[in-house]
Structure 1
Amino acid sequence: MALVWKPSMMITIFLLFLTSSQGKTSNYWDNEYPFIRYASSFPPPPSPASSSASTSVEEKAYDYIIVGGGTVGCPLAATLSQNFSVLLLERGGVPFANPNVSFLQNFHISLADVSPTSASQFFVSSDGVYNARARVLGGGTCLNAGFYTRPSARDIRRLNLDAKLVNESYPWIEDQIVHMPKFSPWQRAVKDGLLDVGISPDNGFTYDHLYGTKVGGTIFDRYGRRRTAVELLRSANSKKLDVLIHATAQKILFDKTGKKPRAVGVVFKDETGRQHQAFLSRRRGSEIIVSSGALGSPQLLLLSGIGPRKDLQKLNIPVVHHNELVGKGMSDNPMNTVFVPFNRHVEQTLIQTVGITKIGVYIEASSGFGQSSDNISCHHGMLSAEIGQLSTLPPKQRTRDAIEAYKRNKRNLPHEVFKAGFILQKLASPKSTGELSLKNTNVDDNPHVSFNYFSHPEDLQQCVDGIRLVEKLLASKHLTSFMPPDKESFEKLLNLSVQANVNFIPKHTNDTKSVEQFCKDTVITIWHYHGGCHVGKVVSPDYEVLGVHRLRVLDGSTFSHSPGTNPQATLLMMGRYMGLKILRQRLGRAAGF
């Protein structure tokens, strides 16, 4: 009898391997990643009598210190290590032994996990929308829905990037971790439905950003195993790279004796809470590169004394450089989802198909979450209020008590509510913006952040137009064949409006005010928030922090908009791109870069 391979079997074998591997080496990942170690193993800080320029410290100095081992930090570190010594600091742990990170079928669990050791750190914006930030080596590539698609040529121009070097950088990423998705019948139905309602042409499978309907790449392989940015570190020069996990950067150190403050090192704490200092070498061109994400990077600049003078002085943070614009212009692409009840079991899928419209919205789909009867799927599925996908409660009413009550009530929901999927609508380039500021000087605490969803009238109008387009999509024969379920099951679903907060399409889509209210009440995030360190305001076009030397920021905090339908490909590319650009500037093209 032929063996039927199931993802659950792979998980079991994977965990058995990890269990048997532990104890054979100091860390079970040592064979493939010998340069990764715990932060507590780092040499202790210099004695008070030593200075950052002393010989004893200089022996431990690095050409580059990268703060944040995520979507940008990993490819950047791997590239720079080819010729220079690199220290990569990551505040989280490794993703290798975490099946909730490693496998598509568990995607929803990490996002709903609010424990201190989770790969994601939960936060709530002042708008009331629940959100998450990565806290693991590999960053967002360990948490996201895996969709991989390049940005448009216009996006590249707006980012002021060299198109030739951009196109050289993508294949290095794609050849290592990107795949063609295993296309499902539901995703095919959505694709055909999008074409029916005029989202054309059919662009087939492509990484390119093209108006119409397309199928994009994914970082999940054919077995549903996630391929993260960590795997790009296999291309590093292991002799020149040190990666420290559970290394939480607390502030950047500066030498303020010159005309401009000059970054010289980083203070970070390890998993035990003990503090360490890491320093840059004296070599010309050495620098610190902050890649801590759209929340983490502006937060670290502020903690280090770069930001609005008044705000820093309130928290007794010594001012290194006054810049009113650090933390300003924060933006998040609002998403609204519509619940689609199925008349059959449909396999679990994340984003595969996307409709790139000319009205400023992207239409995507997911399916099959929470169909298992086990407790994990039931209480942390894609249908859970923990990550907001079913919440019709207005954001300000999504309190912890309300969510706990929802989780309790969900235990009694019938099976039919979990046999479903979603149509997702995301605004491409919202004009509504907010800001980020420090709550306190504890780097472990989330900063205060607002996004002011739909505060700009054009954003609200685009959402209305998008919901009306989704209504047309749901009427397509390709989708109606999947729904609704039988009459009895559908009536059960209709009676769940109080308990389940099911987002059906609004009843009166011809009433603009009604649809506007739907947009506001059901808004959630798609985790593509950005801004806070904008080019021309906080950093230069080469991402160098204005007003200081030897410090850059390179991540989504520099974006004024989220490139492409999903920023993952752009961020991965930028890590490789900037690594190559720096190598060429320092070594010349003759060095092979």
Structure 2
Amino acid sequence: METAPLRLLASAAVFLCSHCFFCYADNRGPNYTFVKHATQAPRVSYHDYIIVGGGTAGCPLAATLSQISNVLLLERGGSPYGNRNISRMELQVENLADRSLTSPAQRFVSEDGVINVRARVLGGGTCVNSGFYSRASTQEVRDMDWDARLVNESYQWLEKVVAFEPKLIPWTSALKDGLLEAGVMPYNGFTYDHMYGTKTGGSTFDQTGRRHTAADLLRYADPDTLTVLLRATVQRILFKKGGRRPQAYGVIYKDEMGNMHKAYLKHGSASGVIVSAGALGSPQLLMLSGVGPADHLRSLGIEVVLDQPAVGQGMSDNPMNAVIFPSQQPVEITSVQVVGITRSGSYIESFTGYNYLPALAGNSSGGDGDQQASQRRLGVFRSPRKQRTQQNMVEGADQVSIPDEFSFQGGLLFEKVARPLSQGHLRLKNRNPDENPSVTFNYFMKPEDVQACVEGMKTINRVIESKSFSDFRYSILSVDDLLGVSANFIVNNRPRHGSYDSTTLEQYCKDLVLTMYHYHGGCQVGRVVDHDYKVHGVDSLRVIDGSTFNFSPGTNPQATVMMLGRYMGVKIQNQRLEQKKMKKP
């Protein structure tokens, strides 16, 4: 899933689509006749395919399979349509602040002490991330052992609906030029492709600021053969255990009123249960269903269907480290538009806008008093709406009154470690599928990851000091000033080790690490699933989502996770058609 701390203001837009059953009206969203709440579902139903998780991969997968099969898509969250915090770029950070039980972004804190979220909405992480759209590189496609032609066709299928060329604002134009000055060469122009150098990437926000998500890909579905149920929380997968190997034959799910329902597979070897619940949800559900490390499952009273120690292993998150950059010029609100892809193992990106600082300075407990205290540490980055002088910019928070309403003029420059070697694990806390599992990412356990972060931070420093960025930079604020004050309000639950400047970048990376929301692993290809995404050791069960990744592809993975849903939908569809042909006399 990728998102960012932005607190922004709203504006209205209406998007129209030519499909008769897919049109927007007053932000209510498409009229999908096949989308219902789980409370409307029968207690028992039968399907060719049951997909658990209507997220980034699940929506394109369901839309594709529905073309030839009866498909049930179960999503534990609600609809993204009608929620302006999802649809409007200016409001996206509001999802991070929403702690309700129905929030589209469910908060969790890793055992490393880093605050994070997982999606809980139809469309998954594409509804709560920062919208950057970037394909996997040619080499990454080879590393994944995918069919390059089908990969390309699948990306194109997505891009007709969810990908757009952004209109660069002056800030991101300056970032582009600053990256080139900093040596992140060449400039590759606007492209969805992933390649070394600086580029303008795609966005799932169109030029009116409206977000387009994986849920929009359901426009491709056959409305007569697809059923999508919202607020449907799968409790466990059902297995037959009398044959040569355990075989999945259905699921039990709970609606929002607490009623239990059963969905079964129709008879036939081509049907199956497909788990697309994300990097936390998929390994969690396998374990709750009895597929995982036997000793761990028995300790929680879970009957073991298959002892599979690799479930929950290989968990990795791409660490992010950031510098807050106050601008002496007004900066428009936007999301990620430009990226620098370095050869040292880091990617450089930026967000702009105002009022996202309280989200970054929030606390893990969520107490209002603590958050107010955190906000008072913002110092030079928190200012009244009236113009402040350069003198009071450096006097600090204690000498400046902090009004109830304030704005921040500037942006967030950050680097992501591209392929971290550090990995962790996921374990269940209990048997409740509504609660988050325990996850440890072991950020910066490997020294190579620390070095990649340091090189990324050095690149950011060169961008800050570049001529291209000089029109935005306060001349009295040095790089060391920015690093030192940024450290005062970047919040996680990790210990701090003194003050920070350009001579302490290693410690800055370790202590002030944030998530890039690109966590993956837990059901990795080669360990838990094969290259056809079938779970080793059981029949009629696949996992298709980012939990199968050994690395996060592209600059940002959402494009590739959506592509994987389409890609595997086509492959399964073709396999099913071949089986039908073979059965004909």
TM-score range for the pair, normalised by the shorter chain length: 0.7 to 0.9
SS of residue in 2 equivalent to 1:418: coil
The answer to whether the Cα contact below 8 Å between 1:344 and 1:485 also exists between their aligned partners in 2 is no
Aligned match of 1:582: 572
Aligned match of 2:87: 102
SS of residue in 1 equivalent to 2:234: strand
CA positional deviation for 1:362: 0.2
Please show how residues 165-314 of structure 1 align to structure 2 within 5 Å: 165-314=150-299
SS of residue in 1 equivalent to 2:536: coil
| Aligned-partner Cα distance in 1 for 2:11–2:577 | 48
Aligned match of 2:515: 525
SS of residue in 1 equivalent to 2:303: coil
Q: 1:436 aligns with which of 426, 451, 457?
A: 426
Does 1:475 find its partner at 2:465? yes
Letter matched to residue 428 of structure 2:
L
Shift in CA distance, 165/590, structure 1 to aligned 2, threshold 3 Å: farther
Letter matched to residue 383 of structure 2:
P
Shift in CA distance, 273/495, structure 1 to aligned 2, threshold 3 Å: same
Shift in CA distance, 501/96, structure 1 to aligned 2, threshold 3 Å: closer
Aligned match of 2:535: 545
Structure 1 stretch displaced more, 106-115 or 477-486: 477-486
SS of residue in 2 equivalent to 1:443: coil
SS of residue in 1 equivalent to 2:12: helix
Letter matched to residue 265 of structure 2:
L
The answer to whether the Cα contact below 8 Å between 1:359 and 1:465 also exists between their aligned partners in 2 is yes
Q: 1:410 aligns with which of 372, 375, 378?
A: 375
Letter matched to residue 130 of structure 2:
A
SS of residue in 2 equivalent to 1:440: coil
1:164-183 deviations in whole A, cap 9, x for unaligned?
Answer: 11111111100111111121
CA RMSD of aligned residues (A): 2.8
Letter matched to residue 409 of structure 2:
K
Q: 1:333 aligns with which of 293, 318, 321?
A: 318
Shift in CA distance, 497/453, structure 1 to aligned 2, threshold 3 Å: closer
1:33-68 deviations in whole A, cap 9, x for unaligned?
Answer: 0000000111124xxxxxxxxxxxxxx311100000
Letter matched to residue 32 of structure 2:
Y
CA positional deviation for 1:91: 0.1
Aligned match of 2:393: none
CA positional deviation for 1:427: 0.2
SS of residue in 1 equivalent to 2:61: helix
What percent of counterpart residues are identical?
51
Shift in CA distance, 496/338, structure 1 to aligned 2, threshold 3 Å: closer
Please show how residues 57-76 of structure 1 align to structure 2 within 5 Å: 60-76=45-61
Aligned match of 1:395: none
Does 1:358 find its partner at 2:343? yes
The answer to whether the Cα contact below 8 Å between 2:350 and 2:413 also exists between their aligned partners in 1 is yes
| Aligned-partner Cα distance in 1 for 2:517–2:71 | 29
| Aligned-partner Cα distance in 1 for 2:204–2:70 | 29
Q: 1:400 aligns with which of 361, 365, 387?
A: 365
The answer to whether the Cα contact below 8 Å between 2:320 and 2:417 also exists between their aligned partners in 1 is yes
CA positional deviation for 1:228: 0.8
Corresponding pairs, count: 533
CA positional deviation for 1:8: 4.3
| Aligned-partner Cα distance in 2 for 1:268–1:471 | 50
The answer to whether the Cα contact below 8 Å between 1:410 and 1:499 also exists between their aligned partners in 2 is no
Aligned match of 2:436: 446
The answer to whether the Cα contact below 8 Å between 1:40 and 1:270 also exists between their aligned partners in 2 is yes
Aligned match of 2:403: none
Letter matched to residue 175 of structure 1:
K
| Aligned-partner Cα distance in 2 for 1:75–1:587 | 19
Aligned match of 1:317: 302
| Aligned-partner Cα distance in 2 for 1:491–1:207 | 35
Shift in CA distance, 252/501, structure 1 to aligned 2, threshold 3 Å: closer
SS of residue in 1 equivalent to 2:212: coil
SS of residue in 1 equivalent to 2:415: strand
Shift in CA distance, 477/66, structure 1 to aligned 2, threshold 3 Å: same
Shift in CA distance, 545/494, structure 1 to aligned 2, threshold 3 Å: closer
Shift in CA distance, 482/578, structure 1 to aligned 2, threshold 3 Å: same
Shift in CA distance, 553/492, structure 1 to aligned 2, threshold 3 Å: closer
CA positional deviation for 1:152: 0.6
Shift in CA distance, 404/444, structure 1 to aligned 2, threshold 3 Å: farther
Does 1:534 find its partner at 2:506? no
Letter matched to residue 555 of structure 2:
T
Letter matched to residue 213 of structure 1:
T
The answer to whether the Cα contact below 8 Å between 2:184 and 2:197 also exists between their aligned partners in 1 is yes
| Aligned-partner Cα distance in 1 for 2:59–2:551 | 23
Gaps of 5+ in 2: 1-7, 16-24, 389-406, 493-498
Structure 2-normalised TM-score?
0.86
CA positional deviation for 1:508: 4.6
Shift in CA distance, 84/338, structure 1 to aligned 2, threshold 3 Å: same
Shift in CA distance, 241/367, structure 1 to aligned 2, threshold 3 Å: same
The answer to whether the Cα contact below 8 Å between 2:325 and 2:482 also exists between their aligned partners in 1 is no
The answer to whether the Cα contact below 8 Å between 2:323 and 2:483 also exists between their aligned partners in 1 is no
CA positional deviation for 1:115: 1.6
| Aligned-partner Cα distance in 2 for 1:304–1:590 | 31
Letter matched to residue 124 of structure 1:
V
Structure 1-normalised TM-score?
0.85
SS of residue in 2 equivalent to 1:75: helix
| Aligned-partner Cα distance in 2 for 1:486–1:327 | 49
SS of residue in 2 equivalent to 1:189: helix
Letter matched to residue 436 of structure 1:
L
Shift in CA distance, 178/455, structure 1 to aligned 2, threshold 3 Å: same
Q: 2:121 aligns with which of 136, 140, 147?
A: 136
Letter matched to residue 538 of structure 2:
V
1:382-410 deviations in whole A, cap 9, x for unaligned?
Answer: x13x4x4x58xxxxxx6527884233553
SS of residue in 2 equivalent to 1:339: strand
The answer to whether the Cα contact below 8 Å between 2:109 and 2:364 also exists between their aligned partners in 1 is no
Aligned match of 1:154: 139
Aligned match of 2:109: 124
SS of residue in 1 equivalent to 2:547: helix
| Aligned-partner Cα distance in 2 for 1:438–1:589 | 38
Does 1:349 find its partner at 2:351? no
Letter matched to residue 576 of structure 1:
R
Letter matched to residue 371 of structure 2:
Y
Shift in CA distance, 497/323, structure 1 to aligned 2, threshold 3 Å: closer
| Aligned-partner Cα distance in 1 for 2:99–2:480 | 34
Aligned match of 1:377: none
The answer to whether the Cα contact below 8 Å between 2:313 and 2:425 also exists between their aligned partners in 1 is yes
SS of residue in 2 equivalent to 1:251: strand
1:477-530 deviations in whole A, cap 9, x for unaligned?
Answer: 11121111788xx99999977974599xx8653x3xx11111112100010000
Aligned match of 2:42: 43
| Aligned-partner Cα distance in 1 for 2:137–2:486 | 40
| Aligned-partner Cα distance in 1 for 2:191–2:197 | 12
Shift in CA distance, 557/498, structure 1 to aligned 2, threshold 3 Å: closer
The answer to whether the Cα contact below 8 Å between 1:63 and 1:85 also exists between their aligned partners in 2 is yes
| Aligned-partner Cα distance in 2 for 1:130–1:87 | 33
Shift in CA distance, 9/338, structure 1 to aligned 2, threshold 3 Å: closer
The answer to whether the Cα contact below 8 Å between 1:325 and 1:537 also exists between their aligned partners in 2 is yes
The answer to whether the Cα contact below 8 Å between 1:343 and 1:486 also exists between their aligned partners in 2 is no
Letter matched to residue 281 of structure 1:
K
Q: 1:564 aligns with which of 531, 554, 563?
A: 554
